[in-house]
A and B are shown apart, each in its own frame.
Chain A
Amino acid sequence: MADALLNPLSLTLSVQTSEAFAAPAMSLADRASRALESGVWGAVMYIVIGLVAVLTAVSVLGLVMSYIERKVAGHFQCRLGPMRVGPHGVLQSLADGIKLLFKEGIEPGDGDKVIFIGAPIFSITATILLLAIVPLAPGIQVVDMNVGVVYIAAVSGLGVMGILMGGWSSNNKWSLLGAMRAGAQMISYEVSLTIALLVVVLFSGTLKVSEIIESQQQGWWIWRGHGVAIVAFCLYVIASTAELNRTPFDLPEGESELTGGYHTEYSGLRFSFFFLAEFANLFVFSALAVTFFFGGWLPFHVGNYEGFNSVMDLLPPVISPIFWFGSKCATLIFILMWFRWTFPRLRMDQLMRLEWKVLLPIGFANLILAATVVLSGLYFFPSAT
């Protein structure tokens, strides 16, 4: 096997075999770590494939999600959304993308040019790094490190840097206000986000993302962990909405207040980088919620009830993960969009109060409760893990 990995071609071929689906233990990531040990070319090839895959994913996600968002918004608002470009406007985001490519990239005269140009790249890098750890199907995951949850917490905090840089370097007081709001908001809500994820870490007993999914073979944590997991999930949804800067937490943009917040001065492709990052993040945070609370690509299982489980397993092994992961993820994304097109925006002080006086105490209490539940085995099917 090690010899085979020396040849980059064999690596690409082996990804396509059913072996990857059959044995999750031999995931892409494992292959990569082996490749690192056994040869440089395998590792380089792997990095290239991974990067290309993630970059493609970011741009495709940006296109698809912005189309979906506009359609959903349209139907929420008694109108149709994009209808002109292509059937039902499916090519609208493509047309917008081409338009953005041709727009002039304006730089503020007195702005800090280096930081100004770097900010959108920083923002999208954080998204790419985060997307790398999202498990899409058994073995389809770019990196699967043993401290995955810590990685998620660390990298998701990186996105705020891009926003802060963008607001600071724009030489615009409104932008600066937006950036400062973003900084305060994202750093605060990161705490709740991590605490919510820690509950699942306690349940599954591992920090590795793929193992967290494997631990849900008997049932998803959202119902096996009953009350505690549901509270954690609610905390996660609220905190991730704030992380994503979406309504009701869209203060950094705050269109009616700050005329666009941190990206007021951005145009053309640089603006679209922020835009892409935002939409890709929407997918990433939904996918992570699915991974942690809804069993990732796993079908709905109830403990050892073989009859019920076998009905759920009826889908063929290639379609099953796509169906389950896709439908769960789409539902969550829809809920987040529902939020955005229903709620008004909170005020800054209310936002901070909500986090530090409401969510955080609940989060800590919930974490302690979760530890008690796990220690005493009070959740469903404790023997399974």
Chain B
Amino acid sequence: MTVEVSSLKELVEQASGDDRSPDTQEYFVNMGPQHPSTHGVLRLVLKLDGERVLRCIPVLGYIHRSIEKISEHMNYMNCVHLTDRMDYLSSIMNNWAVSKAVEEAAGIEVNSRIQYIRTIFAELERIQSHQLWWGVLGMDLGAFTPFLYGIRDREVLNDVMEETVGARLTMNYVLPGGLMADIHPNFVHRVKEFIKYFRPKLDEYDDLLTNNVIIQERLRNVGILSPQTAVQYGATGPVLRGSGVAFDLRKDHPYGVYDQADFEVPVGTIGDSWDRYWVRVEEMRQSLNIVEQLLDNIPPGDFLVKKLNSKIKIPEGRYYSQLETARGVLGVFIASDKKDEPYRLHYRSPNFNNLWCLEPMIKGDYIASLIGAMSSLDLVIPDIDR
């Protein structure tokens, strides 16, 4: 296998060169870093033939904040707070990923109340993440209204979570050894109300987008990602499951209390944008089921087994832990040298791998399909760069 490495400048020169003939020419276009559909500062260099995309080269680094490097100078309790800023739509799951890694490495046992609350919050956050994605997908495909419908329902859920957590975006709730605060007395009641509110809304979502003929035309057989390619590129989460690979850490390597909940893992068939769309909408239903099952069984106990801001020391060695966020597998790698700060902390973020699936799935298709396919990947750019 050979790997061709060529700079962007070389590519552009190869394409246009000195050709001044009146024939049609292939050309390069920058999509981003400022573009309404890249949802952040992702830059894609597109090689186009008319409206057909011949190449799509992601250029990263526009929102790099060196979270991994900063973490090397922080103790394990503090590292957690930076992870909110990676995939801001699954901040609690990011917190949990680090906490889980640290707990496993340092041998901290947390009680089952903490695990229950973590699992419930993770699922609630998965729902709100998918709500936003659903609205944004509509907007990317030209329908503005779904965005506000998605946001409307997300606000309801955010209010519920805010009561306990105190924040709406960077939730900062899970810590190594427990939680920041106990759940609010109203929490269980309000989550039940939300479930009652949101189930009919999911049918409304179906009316507005899922059953719309234009949406079907735009998504079906567009951006096909074969299971082999998906696995090769390391895609995870709904992107991988949309391609028909039933891999979900919640099912395959249960953590938290997922083993006590009865739920299904929706899986696509051919791996087109439609499958990824359908998988996510179905995941919202499944998450509602999980929350519903766990909500009444939260056992009593403490919400924090360690002292807040205590210095956790991890024995020398390398540790890896992973869990399923709303976008796929978030892996946390810790290299420890017996101090209370990590020697190296690396995140295997799901969006980074999912992003590279864009080119194989979109080659030779139209720009409009690229937008639809990119939206179906549900990228969060700060998670790619970190």
Residues facing A in B196-225 (CB within 8 A) are 208-209, 212, 214-215, 217-218
CA distance A302 to B117 in the complex (A): 69
Smallest CB–CB gap between A297 and chain B, Å? 34
Smallest CB–CB gap between B250 and chain A, Å? 31
Contact present for A343 and B212 (CB under 8 Å): yes
Interface residues on B, range: 20 to 34
Contact present for A76 and B145 (CB under 8 Å): yes
Contact present for B36 and A344 (CB under 8 Å): no
CA distance A40 to B141 in the complex (A): 55
Smallest CB–CB gap between A341 and chain B, Å? 5
Whether A257 is near chain B, meaning CB under 8 Å from some CB there, is: yes
Among A55-63, A163-171, A248-256, the stretch that binds chain B is: A248-256
Q: Tally chain A residues at the interface, Cβ within 8 Å.
A: 28
Q: 1/0 per position for B241-259, CB-CB distance to A under 8 A?
A: 0000000000000000000
Chain B contacts for A76, CB-based, 8 A? 145
Contact present for A345 and B214 (CB under 8 Å): yes
Contact present for B214 and A348 (CB under 8 Å): no
Closest partner residue, chain B, to A350 (CB atom)? B217
Whether A342 is near chain B, meaning CB under 8 Å from some CB there, is: yes
CA distance A247 to B143 in the complex (A): 8
With contacts A173-B29, A255-B36, A343-B212 taken as known, whether A73 is within 8 angstroms of B144 at the C-beta atoms is yes
Chain B contacts for A347, CB-based, 8 A? 217-218, 366, 368-369
Residues facing A in B362-378 (CB within 8 A) are 366-369, 371
Whether B142 is near chain A, meaning CB under 8 Å from some CB there, is: yes
Closest partner residue, chain A, to B144 (CB atom)? A341
Pick the residue among B143, B208, B209, B367 that contacts A177 (CB under 8 A).
B367
Contact present for B51 and A344 (CB under 8 Å): no
CA distance A301 to B288 in the complex (A): 56
Whether A174 is near chain B, meaning CB under 8 Å from some CB there, is: yes
CA distance A257 to B374 in the complex (A): 11
CA distance A255 to B139 in the complex (A): 9
Q: Which of A73, A257, A343, A348 has the most CB of B within 10 A?
A: A257
Closest partner residue, chain B, to A347 (CB atom)? B368
CA distance A349 to B366 in the complex (A): 9
CA distance A77 to B135 in the complex (A): 12
Pick the residue among A79, A247, A257, A343 that contacts B148 (CB under 8 A).
A79
Contact present for A256 and B139 (CB under 8 Å): yes
CA distance A254 to B36 in the complex (A): 10
Contact present for A257 and B371 (CB under 8 Å): yes
Closest partner residue, chain A, to B27 (CB atom)? A173
Contact present for A344 and B143 (CB under 8 Å): yes
Whether B35 is near chain A, meaning CB under 8 Å from some CB there, is: yes
Whether B37 is near chain A, meaning CB under 8 Å from some CB there, is: yes
Residues facing A in B1-46 (CB within 8 A) are 27, 29, 35-37
CA distance A54 to B385 in the complex (A): 55
Contact present for B144 and A78 (CB under 8 Å): no
Residues facing B in A245-278 (CB within 8 A) are 247-248, 250-251, 254-259
Chain A contacts for B208, CB-based, 8 A? 342
Binding site for A on B (CB under 8 A): 27, 29, 35-37, 51, 138-145, 148-149, 152, 208-209, 212, 214-215, 217-218, 366-369, 371
Minimum-distance CB pairs A-B, first 5 = A345-B142, A344-B143, A77-B148, A344-B141, A347-B368
